[in-house]
């Protein structure tokens, strides 16, 4: 690759040809402010916050301007500073400035820029259009009054996820980011993945807050309130309290949940182990008995809804297994309720998830057992952090010792890695290998399944037979993989799909990471590292060797994929394609 020499604010830097001024400046440790730019998602030069002087007649947008050999860039001249302030004032003139009550206060990129540039009012205030709040769905709230038209959400939905539920509508002053034809978000093919939420630099998109429901349940003397946090939460929650991205806070998390007043603190990792027992057994059965292949995983609710909307012909290929969250909820309201002598109608199961699509999942009619919801409330990692802060708990000073309650608490390393793309596949392979080989296979690290590439492929030899598998993370990548399969260009037995890029660690309910930080740190990678460390530190690393899982099947469920297991742990899906 050809190299070019550039001088930025007097600093000489050598970069690859084709590098943008923004990227070159970043390599030289020179900060250029941005709003619409988001690494790997959006690069359109629309907001003009990143303008710089490159010696041309007009200022250039650094995020889209390629460097040239000998280029001299000035990022902090009076003209540049004034241009940025004017742009910021224009954005603020059309922005609902209720910062104190906004969910993004202190994590808002617009707020941070206003502080950095010393802009506390706008010279351009005038008439504004007041838009209605779109909060009709169970997962995502859309507030156009806070939108700054950066289009990061549009790029995440269309370019990364391949959906296009929202776009720029109308022109000029009346431009708004919205679904077509004045539809509500819940009336579109939106899969509730929340990638638009984590892409948004302000508070124009957010999860529907269900923390009041949790507080109400906690202080209802008639209710027995149980909580279950997902694997990916423990490597992200600490970020809300100033800890480095990817820090493992499993112990502090469980301690905080105890202090919030939950009657029992269980672990969704147990549900992940249970999912592997059912899913690996289902896969082996399909392979041996000529079942529908390839079999797709069914843990990601965004992925499931994507199939229902776009590829309903693949519904028979989906595993019938419920997600770990739903499996654990079903066991809590049946097995645990019987053991504890509690009427399941009085149990409130709260799930803490890295995902906003889980809010949609708990409302699905298919997730009822005997007329009861397996999970009653699902909150995000961010919502849990708000509850901890609301309760004035000093999270960073909590003990690191785990304090999960017994009976459905034991989990394995296989469960921990569920939160990273490829983790479900690796966990399933650990169990499937032992079943097919009829022995304990020593190697448990299927490293070919790891990494953040959109599509990964691997072939493993189990019991003398080749097993071809694939992993896709993001529905955009899944679409490409499905098209290849349908065209006859690829063939697999088992496919893992996560709706979100990087898997659950990068779910729509995880802590916000601003655009500047993402230039240096990939939260998908750092959070996944935490989960793999969690896996390595576990004494037991295969789901089928979990003693609590063995006990559950021996005392209650019988055989994996058996009659009782199917009643509680399996489900079906529906065609939403409108064809």
Q: Convert the pLDDT of each residue in 87-135 to its tens digit.
A: 999 999 989 989 999 999 999 999 999 999 999 877 888 788 999 999 9
Catalytic residue among 122, 254, 298, 319: 319
Last residue of a domain, one of 174, 191, 207: 207
Predicted local distance difference test score (pLDDT) of residue 32: 97
Over 60: is that where the pLDDT of 579 sits? no
User: Looking at the structure, do residues 145 and 245 belong to the same domain, yes or no?
Assistant: no
Judged against a pLDDT cut of 80, whether residue 1 lies above it is answered with no
Of residues 322, 358, 359, 456, which has the active-site annotation?
358
Q: Which of 50, 102, 193, 299 is catalytic?
A: 299
pTM, entire model:
0.96
221 and 338 together in one domain: yes
CA distances from 536 to 280, 409, 532, 543 (A): 21, 18, 6, 14
Active-site residue 153, yes or no?
no
> Does residue 223 register a pLDDT over 80?
yes
Residue 172 domain-assigned (yes or no): yes
Domain ranges, residue 363: 212-569
- Residue 574 included in any domain: no
278: tokens are: 């059912």
Residues 198 and 235 occupy one common structural domain: no
pLDDT at 448: 95
If asked whether residues 295 and 167 sit together in one domain, one would say no
Q: Is 279 a catalytic residue?
A: yes
Q: How far apart are CA 276 and CA 291, in angstroms?
A: 18
Strand bridging mode 205-207 / 140-142: antiparallel
Mark which of 207, 237, 263 sits at the end of a domain: 207
Instruction: Tell me the three state secondary structure of residue 318.
Output: strand
- pLDDT above 70: percentage of residues in the chain: 100
- Does 463 score more than 90 pLDDT? no
Whether 494 and 466 have beta carbons less than 8 Å apart is answered as: no
Mean of the per-residue pLDDT values of the chain: 96
The answer to whether residue 578 sits within a structural domain is no
What ranges make up the beta strands (E) of 300-414? 347-353, 368-369, 372-373, 377-380
358 is catalytic: yes
pLDDT band, very low/low/confident/very high, at 437 (cuts 50, 70, 90): confident
Domain-embedded: residue 156: yes
Is residue 368 domain-shared with residue 251, that is, in the same domain? yes
Active site (annotated) includes residue 328: no
Q: Is 319 a catalytic residue?
A: yes
Shared domain check, 72 and 12: yes
- Pair 160, 226 in one domain: no
Q: What is the pLDDT of residue 436?
A: 85
Residue 426 has pLDDT above 80, yes or no: yes
In the listed set 168, 183, 207, which residue is the last one of a domain according to the structure?
207
152 pLDDT band (50/70/90 cuts)? very high
pLDDT value at 301 more than 90: yes
| 361 catalytic per annotation | yes
DSSP output for 205-249: EEEPP-HHHHHHHHT-TT-EEEEEE-GGGGGTGGGGGTPPTT---
- Among residues 361, 383, 410, 534, which one is catalytic? 361
- In this predicted structure, what is the pLDDT of residue 462? 85
The model's pLDDT over 361-411, given as tens digits with 9 standing for 90+, comes to 999 999 988 889 999 999 999 999 999 999 999 999 999 999 999 887 789
The domain tally of the chain equals 3
Per-residue pLDDT, 497 = 98
Confirm whether 481 is domain-assigned: yes
- 139 is an active site residue: no
> Out of 147, 504, 534, 542, which one is annotated catalytic?
504
pLDDT tens digit sequence for 32-77: 999 999 999 999 999 999 999 999 999 999 999 999 999 999 999 9
Mean pLDDT confidence for 428-455? 92
Q: Which of 23, 239, 282, 534 is catalytic?
A: 282
44 shares a domain with 16: yes
CB count in 10 Å sphere of residue 86 = 15
């Amino acid at each position: 690759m050809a190299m070019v020499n550039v001088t930025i604010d007097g600093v000489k830097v050598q970069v690859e040809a084709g590098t943008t001024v923004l990227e070159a400046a970043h390599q030289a440790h020179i900060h250029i402010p941005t709003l619409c730019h988001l690494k790997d998602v959006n690069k359109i030069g629309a907001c003009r916050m990143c303008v710089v002087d490159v010696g041309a007649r007009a200022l250039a947008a650094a995020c889209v301007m390629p460097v040239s050999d000998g280029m001299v860039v000035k990022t902090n001249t009076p003209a540049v500073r004034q241009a940025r302030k004017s742009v910021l004032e224009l954005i603020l003139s059309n922005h609902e400035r209720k910062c104190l009550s906004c969910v993004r206060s202190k994590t808002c990129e617009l707020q941070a820029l206003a502080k950095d540039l010393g802009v506390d009012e706008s010279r351009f205030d005038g008439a504004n259009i007041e838009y209605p709040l779109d909060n009709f769905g169970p997962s995502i709230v859309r507030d156009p009054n806070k939108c700054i038209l950066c289009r990061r959400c549009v790029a995440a939905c269309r370019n990364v996820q391949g959906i296009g539920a929202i776009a720029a509508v109308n022109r000029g002053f009346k431009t708004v980011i919205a679904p077509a034809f004045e539809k509500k978000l819940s009336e579109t093919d939106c899969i509730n993945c929340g990638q638009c939420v984590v892409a948004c630099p302000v508070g124009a998109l957010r999860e529907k807050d269900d923390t009041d429901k949790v507080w109400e349940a906690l202080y209802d003397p008639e209710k027995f309130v149980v909580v279950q946090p997902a694997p990916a939460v423990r490597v992200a929650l600490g970020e809300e309290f100033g800890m480095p991205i990817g820090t493992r806070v499993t112990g502090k998390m469980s301690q905080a949940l105890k202090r919030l007043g939950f009657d029992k603190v269980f672990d969704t990792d147990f549900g992940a182990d249970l999912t592997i027992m059912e899913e690996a057994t289902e896969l082996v059965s399909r392979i041996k008995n000529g079942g529908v292949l390839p079999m797709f995983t069914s843990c990601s609710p965004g992925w499931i809804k994507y199939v229902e909307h776009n590829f309903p012909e693949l519904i028979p290929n989906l595993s019938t297994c419920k997600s770990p969250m739903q499996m654990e909820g079903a066991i809590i309201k049946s097995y645990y309720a019987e053991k504890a002598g509690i009427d399941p109608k009085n149990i409130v199961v709260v799930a803490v998830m890295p995902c906003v699509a889980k809010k949609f999942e708990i409302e699905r009619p298919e997730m009822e057992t005997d007329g009861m919801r397996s999970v009653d409330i699902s909150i995000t990692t961010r919502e849990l952090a708000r509850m901890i802060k609301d309760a004035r708990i000093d999270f960073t000073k909590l003990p690191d010792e785990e304090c999960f309650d017994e009976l459905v608490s034991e989990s394995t390393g296989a469960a921990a890695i569920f939160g990273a793309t490829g983790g479900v596949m690796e966990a399933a392979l650990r169990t499937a290998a032992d079943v097919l080989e009829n022995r304990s296979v020593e190697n448990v690290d299927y490293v070919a399944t790891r990494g953040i590439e959109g599509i990964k492929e691997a072939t493993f030899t189990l019991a003398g037979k080749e097993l071809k598998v694939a992993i896709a993370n993001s529905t955009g990548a899944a679409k490409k993989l499905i098209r290849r399969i349908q065209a006859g260009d690829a063939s697999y037995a088992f496919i893992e799909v996560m709706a979100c890029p990087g898997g659950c660690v990068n779910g729509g309910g995880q802590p916000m990471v601003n655009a500047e930080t993402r230039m240096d740190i990939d939260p998908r990678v750092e959070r996944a590292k935490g989960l793999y460390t969690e896996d390595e530190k576990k004494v037991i690393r295969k789901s089928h060797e979990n003693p609590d899982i063995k006990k559950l099947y021996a005392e209650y469920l019988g055989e994996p994929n058996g009659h009782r297991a199917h009643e509680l742990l399996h489900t079906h899906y529906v065609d939403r394609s409108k064809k």
